[in-house]
Amino acid sequence: MDIKKLISRMTLEEKAGLCSGADFWHTKAVERLGIPATMVSDGPHGLRKQDEEGDHLGINDSIKAVCFPAASATAASFDKNLLCRMGEAVGDSCQHEKLSVVLGPAVNIKRSPLCGRNFEYFSEDPYLAGKLSAAFIHGVQSRNVGTSIKHFAANSQEHRRMSSSADVDERTLREIYLPAFETAVKEEQPWTVMCSYNRINGVYASENPWLLTEVLRDEWGFEGYVMSDWGAVSNRVAGVAAGLDLEMPSSGGINDRKIVKAVQSGELDEKVLDRAVERILNIVFRYTENAKPDTLWDKEAQHLLAAEIAGDCMVLLKNEDSVLPLHKEDEIAFIGEFAEKPRFQGGGSSHINCFRTTSALEAAEGLHITYAQGYSTKTDSATEEQIAEAVAAAKKAKVAVVFAGLPDVYESEGYDRSHMRMPECQNRLIEAVAEANPNTVVVLHNGSPVEMPWIGKVKAVLEAYLGGQAVGIATVRVLFGEVNPSGRLPETFPKKLSDNPSYLFYGGEGDTAEYREGIFVGYRYYDRKEAEVLFPFGYGLSYTSFEYSNLRLSAESITDQETLTAAVTVKNTGSRAGKAVVQLYVGDEESTVFRPVRELKGFEKVELQPGEAKDVCFTLDKRAFAYWNTQIHDWHVETGSFTVEIGHSSRDITLQAKVNVQSTVELPRHYTMDSIFMDLMADPRAKTALKPLLDGLRAVFAPAPAEETTEAASEAISDEMSLAMLNYMPLRGVISFGGDEKAEMMVQQILDELNKA
């Protein structure tokens, strides 16, 4: 298809019309030119295709589909291959249902546990979010179906999400809130990008040329089209000019007419409109020319795949006295409504109409299980009778398993949580059961961290997150040891909400949300502050044990233009087969800018039989060592020593090696009379030029002691104090203390020479 020739035959009205939806889910068709309509659908973890009347938040029914684990769960897998397989399954279902683009994945950073949409976001870490989202995109698009990575960008709260401005400094945007998008775009080229509702530093994402054109297209090389989140458009003409190609849903022709008028008046160049149309048509025809509606959608097989994925996502947080795995011959009590009716997905636009769900109670059929409801999510309460029934069941059982977590109403798209607590009735139930049976296990169903006031009273905790429609199968497999848990936390669990770095200003004031914690999000903050946490980033237990050894680097020293290979041996030292998650962190030993203690720069999941060992290799490039320098507006590596660490979590580092990295970029320097000596002396050129002046100043600030110097006088100013005062003195001090009429002229000559280079 010659897209440019096709566009030349379109009327202005047709071109403007193509830049908005035909309805809630379809792009427009131009029948006279053979341009078909295509359909998009929600579905980061399954399809929410609505055949009839459409809506944004999942109020109306959608087709029966398969609900895979949400991103909060799949991120815990730390498994790129697993995300790719899930993407392939979603892609197959899209082909079967004639869907051109699936709206996801969602990669916004978990700045705070309060964000109501955290359940469909991957992580507090941009490297992990970027790599996992790229793997999912690869899987979906291998089926010739597009993805729409979202929400671009800095959409880390639901509170006032359609009007609030995320005020974020340049370095924080580049290091925390943009890299997940950047990784996915550069590595996998998602067919589309969805811009967010919010403003960024005062400018709506939907009309932000810096975001949509300069960064996304010019820097990262994005080739697809940008669509709006549903209802995210403020000024449609400004949006087209900025790089927003498709407005969703339909505006009923209102904004189409504004585009036409803007072109006719000269406000908008028609070539800019043509470019938007070309981007949209490229994707429309990429799908239609590769459509395979006869693709098999085996829901039963995907149900089992969902169970397999969920099993690899569960995180074993505690396992005192090896109470898990359970034994199938023992009497076990399943307590809590979630055992019978699990919460396995979040509310809002990603809510799937499941063709089947399997609860833990159903999956455990045939085992020695006693069930007690314990509480009601409908009333968010636990009666005395329910507590008593649960306690009685716990007393008779060898092990009591309490299924708890957050009800639907606690976290959803559209609003944020107001606290980090679980329902009081569930906490009370856990306390009562733990008192009745010392072997109490808690299984958690939640989309983001919760406080655990009972953590010291239970033997084990299994974090299931929101594990999809087959979560019951996966839970029983993990509890009884058929699956060895291998999930790791993709986010820090603080002890309490007020420990979170964004606590004082999360949500913002009015329509301004200041990201004052800067780059110190999640473990970057907790580890730098040495704060005690409930569970650290990357944490997770197993039914076996792993040993890391023999960390070796390919070089002791490299330049920032070279790559470094790190290899480590991992061995299963336990008695069960299991999967280790090898995590690699990099830290700058000494930096002139504030940096985290360590940052995740590599991870691999490795399956090992008892006694088996394998080597795992990582390749580190410039970005592994760099920070965003706001002076040059680019990534920069400071010359110096860096640590390369291997660990089980950000708090459990077992191996460390060092590499010296030499910067090949000399930062621009400009000196003035107000530049202080400490900064000047850090520059070899300046140090050499200033040596004559410095010798004279040392005589002033540290004169040779006279014989008659009193003890009190010698104590008044030490050599260290003299040096400190000299370090902090501005260059103009030479004129004040030098006592030479020619000093100012000499200093100015030196400045001119230094700034000329």
- Token pair for 610: 């008892």
Give yes or no for a contact between 485 and 314, defined as CB atoms under 8 angstroms apart. Answer: yes
Give yes or no for a contact between 537 and 575, defined as CB atoms under 8 angstroms apart. Answer: no
Q: Residue 716: is its pLDDT beyond 80?
A: no
Three-state DSSP at 438 gives coil
- Token pair for 728: 């902090």
Give yes or no for a contact between 78 and 539, defined as CB atoms under 8 angstroms apart. Answer: no
pLDDT tens, 537-591? 999 999 999 999 999 999 999 999 999 999 999 999 999 999 999 999 999 999 9
Give yes or no for a contact between 331 and 398, defined as CB atoms under 8 angstroms apart. Answer: yes
**Confidence at residue 708, expressed as pLDDT on a 0 to 100 scale:** 54
- CATH node for 546-662: 2.60.40.10
Q: Give the integer Cα–Cα distance in Å for 358 and 363.
A: 7
**Cα–chain center distance at 692:** 53
Domain ranges of the chain: 3-288, 299-529, 546-662, 677-756
Q: Give the integer Cα–Cα distance in Å for 510 and 512.
A: 6
Considering the candidates 229, 527, 560, 588, report the single residue annotated as catalytic: 229
pLDDT tens, 180-201? 999 999 999 999 999 999 999 9
Q: In this structure, which amino acid lies at residue 81?
A: N
Residue 212 is inside which H or E element, if any? none
Give yes or no for a contact between 83 and 128, defined as CB atoms under 8 angstroms apart. Answer: no
Model confidence, pTM:
0.95
Q: Residue 506: is its pLDDT beyond 50?
A: yes
| Residue 211: band (very low, low, confident or very high) from pLDDT cuts 50, 70, 90 | very high
| Residue 757: band (very low, low, confident or very high) from pLDDT cuts 50, 70, 90 | low
**Confidence at residue 726, expressed as pLDDT on a 0 to 100 scale:** 79
Q: Which of 30-39, 45-54, 401-410 has the lowest mean pLDDT?
A: 45-54
| Residue 713: band (very low, low, confident or very high) from pLDDT cuts 50, 70, 90 | very low
Rounded average pLDDT over 458-487: 98
Rounded average pLDDT over 37-62: 78
Q: What is the DSSP letter of 383?
A: -
Q: Give the integer Cα–Cα distance in Å for 109 and 162.
A: 18
Start-to-end CA distance of the chain, whole Å, equals: 54
Determine whether 499 is an active site residue: no
The contacts of residue 404 (CB under 8 Å, 6+ apart) are 336, 338, 422, 426, 429, 430, 442, 443, 444, 445
pLDDT tens, 625-669? 999 999 999 999 999 999 999 999 999 999 999 999 999 998 988
| Residue 681: band (very low, low, confident or very high) from pLDDT cuts 50, 70, 90 | confident
Tokens 């973890």 label which residue? 45
pLDDT tens, 508-544? 999 999 999 999 999 999 999 999 999 999 999 999 9
Q: Residue 57: is its pLDDT beyond 60?
A: no
- Token pair for 604: 């691999």
Q: Give the integer Cα–Cα distance in Å for 68 and 141.
A: 17
Least Cα distance to 490 among 46, 168, 155, 83 occurs for 83
Rounded average pLDDT over 247-269: 96
Q: Residue 715: is its pLDDT beyond 70?
A: no
Phi/psi for 314 (5° steps) reads -70, 140
Q: Give the integer Cα–Cα distance in Å for 236 and 248.
A: 11
**Confidence at residue 701, expressed as pLDDT on a 0 to 100 scale:** 56
Give yes or no for a contact between 537 and 524, defined as CB atoms under 8 angstroms apart. Answer: no
**Confidence at residue 214, expressed as pLDDT on a 0 to 100 scale:** 98
Three-state DSSP at 506 gives coil
Rounded average pLDDT over 713-731: 68
Q: What is the DSSP letter of 653?
A: E
- Token pair for 41: 């659908």
**Confidence at residue 99, expressed as pLDDT on a 0 to 100 scale:** 97
| Residue 51: band (very low, low, confident or very high) from pLDDT cuts 50, 70, 90 | low
> Considering the chain, what percentage of its residues have pLDDT values greater than 70?
94
Q: Give the integer Cα–Cα distance in Å for 434 and 13.
A: 68
- CATH node for 3-288: 3.20.20.300
Least Cα distance to 69 among 299, 312, 402 occurs for 312
Give yes or no for a contact between 617 and 566, defined as CB atoms under 8 angstroms apart. Answer: yes
Per-residue three-class SS string for 524-549: HHHHHHCCCCCECCCCCECCCCEEEE
Give the chain's mean pLDDT. Answer: 94
Cis before residue 249, ω within 30 degrees of 0?
A: yes
**Confidence at residue 294, expressed as pLDDT on a 0 to 100 scale:** 94
> How many other CB atoms sit within 10 Å of the CB of residue 374?
31
Architecture field, domain 299-529: 3-Layer(aba) Sandwich (3.40)
- Token pair for 547: 């040993």
pLDDT tens, 397-446? 999 999 999 999 999 999 999 999 999 999 999 999 999 999 999 999 99
Strand partners, 662: 559
Q: Which of 25-29, 120-124, 286-290, 693-697 has the lowest mean pLDDT?
A: 693-697
